[in-house]
Amino acid sequence: MGTNNAVKSAYPPVSPETHLNIWVCNIGGGILGYAQFPGGSLTTDGVVCSPQYFGNTGYVSAPFNKGRTMTHEVGHYLNLRHIWGDGRCRQDDFVADTPSSDGPNYGCPTYPTVNCKSPDMTMNYMDYVDDACMYMFSDGQRNRMRAIFQPGGARASMLN
């Protein structure tokens, strides 16, 4: 179905002000999932994931068979960027404690994998490594996610 939100037109989100909506459908094009950042249209708010990468049993496909696609996409839904900031070394992810990088990592990198003169946090959920090789958010990412639930935050309505 691609990443053009067609599935959301066919099945509109239910109560997106207070609920995370998740669509599981074949996206195609090698895309595992996609998410909407906070502050976008309520008519398209939520996360989409292909069934091959959703959860950790049944129809899942290694090496993305441990549910981490949704961990990553919900990270975006909660305002996290990729740890390389989707740009070169100086492009930031707006999180102070994730080291600078200039692109995604894949597979299961050995430590240290050095880019931009520092070891990448390849084990971070917001990188592109295999599910088995990602296992953490940083403190700064946690704080950035929590901030959107504070009064005035983009998803504060979810707490009420």
Rounded Cα distance, 73 and 55, in Å: 13
Cis-peptide into 16, omega within 30 deg: no
Rounded Cα distance, 88 and 134, in Å: 22
Catalytic residue among 73, 93, 120, 127: 73
Whether 73 is catalytic? yes
Rounded Cα distance, 59 and 55, in Å: 9
* Strands in the chain per DSSP E: 22-24, 33-35, 47-49, 114-115, 118-119
Closest CA relative to residue 21, chosen from 39, 46, 44? 46
Active site residue ranges:
73
